[in-house]
Amino acid sequence: MRQALARRLKLGLVIVFLAIFAWQGWYLGWVLWWKHFNPGTTHFMSLRLDELRAKNPHAELKHQWVPYEKLSVNLKRAVVAAEDDKFVDHEGFDWEGMQKAIEKNQKKGKVVAGGSTISQQLAKNLFLSASKTPWRKAQEAVITVWLELFWDKERILEVYLNVVEWGEGIFGAEAAARHYFNTSAAALGAEQAARLAVMLPAPRKFEKNPYSAFMNGRTEAILGRMQYSEVP
Protein backbone atom coordinates (compact mmCIF):
# COMPACT_ATOMS: atom_id res chain seq x y z
CA MET A 1 0.00 0.00 0.00
CA ARG A 2 2.76 2.39 1.00
CA GLN A 3 4.82 1.43 -2.06
CA ALA A 4 1.89 2.11 -4.37
CA LEU A 5 1.32 5.46 -2.70
CA ALA A 6 5.01 6.32 -3.00
CA ARG A 7 5.00 5.42 -6.72
CA ARG A 8 1.96 7.63 -7.31
CA LEU A 9 3.61 10.46 -5.43
CA LYS A 10 6.78 10.14 -7.49
CA LEU A 11 4.76 9.98 -10.71
CA GLY A 12 2.84 13.08 -9.67
CA LEU A 13 6.05 14.95 -8.95
CA VAL A 14 7.50 13.92 -12.33
CA ILE A 15 4.37 15.14 -14.11
CA VAL A 16 4.48 18.45 -12.27
CA PHE A 17 8.18 18.83 -13.08
CA LEU A 18 7.62 18.09 -16.76
CA ALA A 19 4.70 20.52 -16.91
CA ILE A 20 6.82 23.29 -15.37
CA PHE A 21 9.70 22.45 -17.70
CA ALA A 22 7.43 22.60 -20.76
CA TRP A 23 5.86 25.88 -19.61
CA GLN A 24 9.25 27.51 -19.06
CA GLY A 25 10.39 26.15 -22.40
CA TRP A 26 7.46 27.93 -24.04
CA TYR A 27 8.58 31.25 -22.55
CA LEU A 28 12.19 30.63 -23.49
CA GLY A 29 11.22 29.73 -27.05
CA TRP A 30 9.51 33.09 -27.52
CA VAL A 31 12.45 34.93 -25.97
CA LEU A 32 14.78 33.31 -28.51
CA TRP A 33 12.38 33.96 -31.41
CA TRP A 34 11.89 37.62 -30.52
CA LYS A 35 15.61 38.14 -30.40
CA HIS A 36 15.48 38.22 -34.20
CA PHE A 37 11.80 38.85 -35.01
CA ASN A 38 9.69 41.73 -33.74
CA PRO A 39 6.66 40.84 -31.58
CA GLY A 40 3.45 41.89 -33.30
CA THR A 41 1.69 42.07 -29.95
CA THR A 42 2.29 41.24 -26.30
CA HIS A 43 0.27 39.62 -23.56
CA PHE A 44 -0.21 42.99 -21.88
CA MET A 45 -1.42 44.54 -25.16
CA SER A 46 -3.91 41.68 -25.55
CA LEU A 47 -5.25 42.28 -22.05
CA ARG A 48 -5.73 45.98 -22.74
CA LEU A 49 -7.43 45.25 -26.06
CA ASP A 50 -9.87 42.90 -24.35
CA GLU A 51 -10.71 45.66 -21.87
CA LEU A 52 -11.33 48.15 -24.68
CA ARG A 53 -13.45 45.72 -26.67
CA ALA A 54 -15.60 45.03 -23.64
CA LYS A 55 -16.72 48.65 -24.05
CA ASN A 56 -16.41 48.89 -27.84
CA PRO A 57 -16.29 45.64 -29.88
CA HIS A 58 -14.58 47.48 -32.76
CA ALA A 59 -11.77 49.01 -30.67
CA GLU A 60 -8.21 48.67 -31.94
CA LEU A 61 -4.83 49.51 -30.44
CA LYS A 62 -2.63 52.24 -31.86
CA HIS A 63 0.75 50.66 -32.49
CA GLN A 64 3.46 50.88 -35.13
CA TRP A 65 6.92 49.35 -34.93
CA VAL A 66 9.97 51.58 -35.39
CA PRO A 67 13.54 50.21 -35.62
CA TYR A 68 15.99 51.19 -32.92
CA GLU A 69 18.05 53.45 -35.17
CA LYS A 70 14.93 55.47 -36.08
CA LEU A 71 13.91 56.13 -32.49
CA SER A 72 14.89 59.57 -31.21
CA VAL A 73 17.99 59.48 -29.04
CA ASN A 74 16.17 62.05 -26.90
CA LEU A 75 13.52 59.45 -26.12
CA LYS A 76 16.09 56.77 -25.36
CA ARG A 77 17.92 59.06 -22.95
CA ALA A 78 14.71 60.31 -21.35
CA VAL A 79 13.29 56.85 -20.72
CA VAL A 80 16.55 55.55 -19.27
CA ALA A 81 16.81 58.64 -17.05
CA ALA A 82 13.24 58.27 -15.84
CA GLU A 83 12.89 54.51 -15.56
CA ASP A 84 16.29 52.87 -15.16
CA ASP A 85 19.41 55.04 -15.00
CA LYS A 86 21.67 52.01 -14.52
CA PHE A 87 20.23 50.19 -17.53
CA VAL A 88 23.46 49.69 -19.48
CA ASP A 89 25.38 48.53 -16.41
CA HIS A 90 23.12 46.11 -14.55
CA GLU A 91 22.33 42.52 -15.54
CA GLY A 92 18.58 42.84 -15.26
CA PHE A 93 18.11 43.88 -11.64
CA ASP A 94 18.91 47.12 -9.82
CA TRP A 95 19.30 45.83 -6.28
CA GLU A 96 20.04 49.26 -4.84
CA GLY A 97 17.00 50.73 -6.54
CA MET A 98 14.82 47.91 -5.25
CA GLN A 99 16.03 48.50 -1.68
CA LYS A 100 15.30 52.23 -1.94
CA ALA A 101 11.81 51.47 -3.27
CA ILE A 102 11.13 49.10 -0.36
CA GLU A 103 12.28 51.70 2.17
CA LYS A 104 10.15 54.40 0.55
CA ASN A 105 7.08 52.17 0.50
CA GLN A 106 7.58 51.22 4.15
CA LYS A 107 7.89 54.87 5.09
CA LYS A 108 4.68 55.80 3.24
CA GLY A 109 2.83 52.70 4.43
CA LYS A 110 1.77 51.80 0.90
CA VAL A 111 3.25 51.06 -2.52
CA VAL A 112 4.35 54.40 -3.98
CA ALA A 113 7.54 53.34 -5.74
CA GLY A 114 8.80 50.35 -7.68
CA GLY A 115 12.31 49.14 -8.30
CA SER A 116 11.73 47.35 -11.59
CA THR A 117 14.29 47.81 -14.34
CA ILE A 118 13.44 48.25 -18.02
CA SER A 119 14.31 44.57 -18.50
CA GLN A 120 11.89 43.50 -15.78
CA GLN A 121 9.15 45.72 -17.14
CA LEU A 122 9.66 44.27 -20.61
CA ALA A 123 9.46 40.70 -19.25
CA LYS A 124 6.11 41.57 -17.66
CA ASN A 125 4.75 43.33 -20.75
CA LEU A 126 5.70 40.53 -23.13
CA PHE A 127 4.27 37.62 -21.18
CA LEU A 128 2.57 38.46 -17.90
CA SER A 129 -0.22 40.40 -16.24
CA ALA A 130 0.02 43.45 -14.01
CA SER A 131 -0.74 41.42 -10.87
CA LYS A 132 1.79 41.52 -8.04
CA THR A 133 1.55 37.92 -6.87
CA PRO A 134 4.75 36.13 -5.75
CA TRP A 135 4.39 33.67 -8.64
CA ARG A 136 4.15 36.45 -11.22
CA LYS A 137 7.18 38.22 -9.76
CA ALA A 138 9.16 34.97 -9.75
CA GLN A 139 8.26 34.29 -13.37
CA GLU A 140 9.17 37.86 -14.26
CA ALA A 141 12.60 37.35 -12.69
CA VAL A 142 13.22 34.18 -14.71
CA ILE A 143 12.25 35.84 -17.99
CA THR A 144 14.38 38.88 -17.11
CA VAL A 145 17.43 36.65 -16.73
CA TRP A 146 16.76 35.13 -20.16
CA LEU A 147 16.33 38.54 -21.80
CA GLU A 148 19.63 39.74 -20.38
CA LEU A 149 21.35 36.47 -21.30
CA PHE A 150 20.17 36.13 -24.90
CA TRP A 151 19.50 39.73 -25.98
CA ASP A 152 21.82 42.71 -25.96
CA LYS A 153 20.85 46.00 -24.32
CA GLU A 154 20.00 47.62 -27.64
CA ARG A 155 17.44 44.92 -28.43
CA ILE A 156 15.91 45.14 -24.96
CA LEU A 157 15.47 48.91 -25.22
CA GLU A 158 14.23 48.67 -28.81
CA VAL A 159 11.47 46.20 -27.96
CA TYR A 160 10.57 48.02 -24.75
CA LEU A 161 10.09 51.36 -26.50
CA ASN A 162 7.96 49.68 -29.16
CA VAL A 163 5.57 47.79 -26.87
CA VAL A 164 5.25 49.85 -23.68
CA GLU A 165 1.88 51.42 -22.90
CA TRP A 166 1.58 55.20 -23.35
CA GLY A 167 -2.13 55.76 -22.82
CA GLU A 168 -5.55 54.25 -23.44
CA GLY A 169 -4.96 51.92 -26.39
CA ILE A 170 -1.64 53.59 -27.23
CA PHE A 171 1.42 51.36 -27.40
CA GLY A 172 4.94 52.09 -28.51
CA ALA A 173 6.90 55.26 -29.19
CA GLU A 174 5.55 55.92 -32.68
CA ALA A 175 1.90 55.79 -31.64
CA ALA A 176 2.67 57.97 -28.60
CA ALA A 177 4.57 60.57 -30.63
CA ARG A 178 1.76 60.77 -33.17
CA HIS A 179 -0.97 60.93 -30.53
CA TYR A 180 0.53 63.55 -28.21
CA PHE A 181 2.71 65.66 -30.51
CA ASN A 182 1.63 64.86 -34.08
CA THR A 183 5.19 63.91 -34.99
CA SER A 184 7.24 60.75 -35.47
CA ALA A 185 9.23 58.87 -32.86
CA ALA A 186 12.34 59.82 -34.81
CA ALA A 187 11.62 63.57 -34.56
CA LEU A 188 10.85 63.84 -30.85
CA GLY A 189 12.59 66.79 -29.22
CA ALA A 190 14.10 66.71 -25.76
CA GLU A 191 11.11 68.24 -23.94
CA GLN A 192 8.64 66.01 -25.79
CA ALA A 193 10.70 62.92 -25.02
CA ALA A 194 10.99 63.85 -21.34
CA ARG A 195 7.23 64.38 -21.07
CA LEU A 196 6.56 60.97 -22.61
CA ALA A 197 9.08 59.34 -20.28
CA VAL A 198 7.46 60.67 -17.11
CA MET A 199 4.11 59.23 -18.22
CA LEU A 200 5.33 55.64 -18.14
CA PRO A 201 4.59 54.71 -14.51
CA ALA A 202 0.87 55.45 -15.02
CA PRO A 203 0.18 56.43 -18.64
CA ARG A 204 -3.60 56.11 -18.55
CA LYS A 205 -3.68 58.38 -15.50
CA PHE A 206 -1.23 61.00 -16.74
CA GLU A 207 -2.70 61.27 -20.24
CA LYS A 208 -5.77 62.93 -18.71
CA ASN A 209 -3.66 65.96 -17.75
CA PRO A 210 -0.21 65.70 -19.35
CA TYR A 211 0.61 69.35 -18.52
CA SER A 212 -0.26 69.29 -14.83
CA ALA A 213 2.06 70.93 -12.33
CA PHE A 214 3.35 67.52 -11.31
CA MET A 215 4.03 66.48 -14.91
CA ASN A 216 5.73 69.79 -15.68
CA GLY A 217 7.98 69.45 -12.65
CA ARG A 218 8.92 65.86 -13.44
CA THR A 219 9.56 66.78 -17.07
CA GLU A 220 12.01 69.50 -16.03
CA ALA A 221 13.76 67.07 -13.70
CA ILE A 222 14.19 64.47 -16.45
CA LEU A 223 15.40 67.13 -18.89
CA GLY A 224 18.15 67.93 -16.42
CA ARG A 225 19.21 64.30 -16.11
CA MET A 226 19.00 63.24 -19.76
CA GLN A 227 22.46 64.53 -20.67
CA TYR A 228 23.96 62.03 -18.22
CA SER A 229 21.97 59.04 -19.48
CA GLU A 230 23.97 56.32 -21.17
CA VAL A 231 22.08 54.39 -23.85
CA PRO A 232 23.08 51.44 -26.05
Model pTM score? 0.89
Whether 58 is covered by a domain: the verdict is yes
Within a domain: 219: yes
Residue at 232 is within a domain: no
Per-residue pLDDT tens digits for 139-198? 999 999 999 999 999 999 999 999 999 999 999 999 999 999 999 999 999 999 999 999
> Do 13 and 111 belong to one domain?
no
Please give the mean pLDDT across all residues of the chain.
Answer: 89
Whether residue 104 is found in the same domain as residue 26:
no
CA–CA gap between residue 17 and residue 197 (Å, rounded): 41
Encode pLDDT of 77-111 as tens digits: 999 999 999 999 998 888 887 677 566 655 555 44
Q: In terms of domains, do 119 and 175 share one?
A: yes
Interior CA angle at 102 toward 97 and 103, to 5°? 100
Is the same domain home to 16 and 114? no
Does residue 135 sit within a domain? yes
Domain count, the chain: 2
Indicate if 147 and 79 belong to the same structural domain. yes
Domain that holds residue 158: 40-226
**How far is it, in rounded angstroms, from Cα 175 to Cα 63?**
5
Residue 107 has a CB neighbour count (10 Å cut-off) of 10
